Structure 1
Amino acid sequence: MQTLLLIMLLVQVPAPLKPGIEKTPFGQMPDGRPVDLFTLRNASGMEVQITNYGAYIVAIRTPDRTGKLEAVTLGVPTFADYLKGTPSFGPVIGRYGNRIANASFTLDGKTYTLAANNGTNHIHGGPGGFDKKHWSVSVIDGEEPTLKLQYTSPDGEEGYPGNLSVEVSYTLQRDNALRIGYRATTDKPTVLNLTNHAYFNLSGMKRDVLNTELQINADRYLPTTPKQIPTGELRPVAGTPFDFRRPTPIGNRINDTTDVQIKYGYGYDHCWVFADNDKSLKLGAVAYEPTSGRVLEMYTTEPGVQLYTGNHLNGKFTGKEGIAYGRRFGFCLETQHFPDSPNQPNFPTTVLRPGQTFQSTTVYKFSAR
């Protein structure tokens, strides 16, 4: 008996991980307001880091098939790097994610002019979009820690009408899922299309994403003009490089320029259309990285998802791991309404009116096999 007790004392049993949120200083806004980094952890050891500048996802760390915890999203090392600007490495995008043609739209008979920051088009809320804003924060600690961020966009900001109150919540669940909830209200009719622009690399930053197997549960996508504005057509994916209804390596057809849409996007930079637009939470996509074994499941209440495959990354940005992010080093699954919906009456509406509440949910769930 004494021998058994001695053996039990000598065996070191790992202490259970304590879930919760840790707050650390991250930097200062140019006007002196503090910027913090919030690290969410669950009992499984998964970590998510978020900052109240731009509501950025700074890092997501998940285990591979051997249990090794590594970063699976692109990000830069310091707050100063974020302040200089990035290719949207994980912020909340608003007021309008994706493109609006000719940087204008008409609502209730009035035309609104926006910044043309993508050629002649408007993209991602403009040069002063939500990714550049200081968000207020509230913390809900516990088994499934939640960070709530709030921002009020004043009437006329970036050309959009209405005082818009936005709340974004990040919840790290027990099952290694990051749940993102969006909520917004307005005092004037406006348009709204919120999303997150995280770039995923499930290899743990060891290689590009071309070998990652992707499945998108959509049988149509939105072809675009050469300026990447939707034509209005919902085109079947069957027989095209856009058919991901079965798991397919991202790189298999990404350079198939016999399809003019691949030329327009320099690869994939298009919106896929889900069959159901009933606002239920549905499995929209699954990604699998064969060398690490990591799996990403994406669920959303949104009617579409923009797949972007890092076609314009060129090594200019170096991540926290000291690795330069070259072309196609990450992929984005931006859950959203359709690009240019304010100018496309046949698309699901993005109009938000006083008395209405915009609500949307996206879940990124991680595992390994």
Structure 2
Amino acid sequence: MKIEKKEIFGEWEEFTLTNDQNMSVSVLNYGGIITKILVPDRNEKVENVVLGYKNYQDYQENPNYFGAIIGRVAGRIRDAAFEIDGKAYSLQANDGKNHLHGGPAGLHQVVWEATPFETNETIGVTLSHQSEEGGGYPGNLEITVTYTLTNDNQLHLEYTAGSDKTTPLALTNHTYFNLCGNLKDTVQDHFLTMNSSSVAELDAELIPTGNITNVEGTRFEFRHERVLGESFNGKYNGYDHYFIFDEGPNEVQVELKEPTSGRVLTVRTNQPGMVMYTANDLESGQKLREGETRKHLGVCFETKGTPASLHHQGFPCILLHPGETYKQHTVFTFQIDQ
């Protein structure tokens, strides 16, 4: 196992973690961005399975949030406003009249303090940042995000945080996965299984209505393996929805398979659900490491709580109180289906 560090633009650093199974993960201290994940296919051909820009300077704006840590609150906050104990807070609107992914000053555009580490079984990098009160969010936050790579081809993402005031917090990572390898095709022919019986209903602006819908008999039914691309058409255009995980003994909440390469990605988390986003609005023509962007070129598994809880009953609360510790843990495991 080894860790390599590369300086970019003087202030940025990219850490590449490589295990003994020929898998590697590259992470920027800017935005905590995962720029590249290399994993072998069934024929031991090592290829990149995430979307990343060809030119590092494109990460400065990163309108698609490629690979980044998202927060303080991942997702859309209706009308860019919320209340805590009767007190109203106004945020910056950056998605129409709504607030998206932490706003224009989100965590995806800050330089984190990075500390690499290595143990007998793992390698990784710990990112730390103090998010000061502002932009409408109350409280000063101390946030730590740790990326750990194991020899079992597992990538662990651990998030911890504390605040001096009650504040909403729902962190996630916004990596776009494509198991074809080197972006040879879209994710339309990937097979997906998900341990979810319900999904949050959305309005025309992709804001949760407060209703929770049973997936049975709908295009959101993934409890039995289905092809993602069945909903990539003019009527539906894919997914950008919050799926609520079922409780139970099943540790793996998501399984994604790509039959040609044999690659399999599983996701397990301690979070109550996730937004699955299938790059519905990814405009063509942006230069990536292995080609150019196009619709449905990747799929994001944004494990987190949902900001719907700020306006509606029935969703797990995302408020972090002083004296509490926010703890989120998500594991992405790469395997081969022979």
Q: TM-score w.r.t. structure 2 length?
A: 0.96
In the TM superposition, residue 281 of structure 1 has moved relative to its aligned partner by: 8.9
The structure 2 residue matched to 1:351, chosen from 319, 322, 327, is: 319
- What's the counterpart of residue 361 of structure 1? 329
What letter is aligned with 2:336?
A: A
In the TM superposition, residue 173 of structure 1 has moved relative to its aligned partner by: 1.0
- What's the counterpart of residue 195 of structure 1? 172
Q: Hey, what's the Cα distance between the residues in 2 that align with 1:176 and 1:317?
A: 30
In the TM superposition, residue 302 of structure 1 has moved relative to its aligned partner by: 0.4
- What's the counterpart of residue 131 of structure 2? 153
The structure 1 residue matched to 2:61, chosen from 63, 71, 84, is: 84
Distance change >3 Å, CA 256–CA 319, structure 1 → 2? closer
Aligned length: 335
Secondary structure at 2:292's aligned position in 1?
coil
The structure 2 residue matched to 1:293, chosen from 262, 268, 274, is: 262
Secondary structure at 1:159's aligned position in 2?
coil
Q: Which moved more, 1:351-360 or 1:139-148?
A: 139-148
User: Does residue 103 of structure 1 match 2:80?
Assistant: yes
What letter is aligned with 1:332?
A: C
Q: Hey, what's the Cα distance between the residues in 2 that align with 1:188 and 1:209?
A: 42
In the TM superposition, residue 234 of structure 1 has moved relative to its aligned partner by: 1.5
- What's the counterpart of residue 307 of structure 1? 276
User: Does residue 23 of structure 1 match 2:1?
Assistant: no
- What's the counterpart of residue 271 of structure 1? 242
Answer 1 or 2: which has greater helix percent: 1
What letter is aligned with 1:84?
A: E
User: Does residue 253 of structure 1 match 2:231?
Assistant: yes
Q: Hey, what's the Cα distance between the residues in 1 that align with 2:57 and 2:128?
A: 22
In the TM superposition, residue 316 of structure 1 has moved relative to its aligned partner by: 2.8
What letter is aligned with 1:267?
A: G
User: Does residue 209 of structure 1 match 2:187?
Assistant: yes
Distance change >3 Å, CA 303–CA 363, structure 1 → 2? same
Q: Which moved more, 1:309-318 or 1:325-334?
A: 309-318
In the TM superposition, residue 100 of structure 1 has moved relative to its aligned partner by: 0.5
- What do the CA deviations read for 1:155-204 (whole angstroms, capped 9, x no partner)? 12x21000001000000011101000000000011000000000000001
Query: Is 2:307–2:318's contact at 8 Å kept on the other side of the alignment?
Result: no
In the TM superposition, residue 256 of structure 1 has moved relative to its aligned partner by: 7.2
Q: Hey, what's the Cα distance between the residues in 2 that align with 1:163 and 1:281?
A: 36
Q: Hey, what's the Cα distance between the residues in 1 that align with 2:165 and 2:112?
A: 22
RMSD: 1.4
- What do the CA deviations read for 1:75-119 (whole angstroms, capped 9, x no partner)? 002321111324011100000000100000000221110011111
What letter is aligned with 1:294?
A: R
What letter is aligned with 1:317?
A: Q
Q: Hey, what's the Cα distance between the residues in 1 that align with 2:7 and 2:259?
A: 37
- What's the counterpart of residue 5 of structure 1? none
What letter is aligned with 1:297?
A: T
The structure 2 residue matched to 1:51, chosen from 28, 47, 50, is: 28
User: Does residue 220 of structure 1 match 2:188?
Assistant: no
Query: Is 1:181–1:360's contact at 8 Å kept on the other side of the alignment?
Result: yes
Q: Hey, what's the Cα distance between the residues in 2 that align with 1:184 and 1:79?
A: 28
Identity %: 40
Q: Hey, what's the Cα distance between the residues in 1 that align with 2:190 and 2:38?
A: 18
User: Does residue 241 of structure 1 match 2:219?
Assistant: yes
In the TM superposition, residue 26 of structure 1 has moved relative to its aligned partner by: 1.8
Query: Is 1:61–1:71's contact at 8 Å kept on the other side of the alignment?
Result: yes
Q: Hey, what's the Cα distance between the residues in 1 that align with 2:279 and 2:142?
A: 31
Q: Which runs of 5+ in 2 are unaligned?
A: none
- What's the counterpart of residue 67 of structure 1? 44
The structure 1 residue matched to 2:143, chosen from 151, 163, 166, is: 166
Q: Hey, what's the Cα distance between the residues in 2 that align with 1:254 and 1:242?
A: 13
Q: Hey, what's the Cα distance between the residues in 2 that align with 1:346 and 1:252?
A: 30
- What do the CA deviations read for 1:27-84 (whole angstroms, capped 9, x no partner)? 24xxxxx110100011111000000000001111110110111000000023211113
Secondary structure at 1:314's aligned position in 2?
coil
Query: Is 2:210–2:308's contact at 8 Å kept on the other side of the alignment?
Result: no
The structure 2 residue matched to 1:330, chosen from 294, 298, 301, is: 298
Q: Hey, what's the Cα distance between the residues in 1 that align with 2:287 and 2:228?
A: 23
Q: Hey, what's the Cα distance between the residues in 1 that align with 2:256 and 2:151?
A: 20
In the TM superposition, residue 361 of structure 1 has moved relative to its aligned partner by: 0.3
Secondary structure at 2:38's aligned position in 1?
strand
Q: Hey, what's the Cα distance between the residues in 2 that align with 1:294 and 1:91?
A: 23
Q: Hey, what's the Cα distance between the residues in 2 that align with 1:345 and 1:133?
A: 33
After TM superposition, the runs of 4+ consecutive aligned structure 1 residues lying more than 2 A away are 253-257
Secondary structure at 2:44's aligned position in 1?
coil
Secondary structure at 2:288's aligned position in 1?
coil
Q: TM-score w.r.t. structure 1 length?
A: 0.88
- What do the CA deviations read for 1:218-261 (whole angstroms, capped 9, x no partner)? 0111111111111111111011011111111101133373xxxx
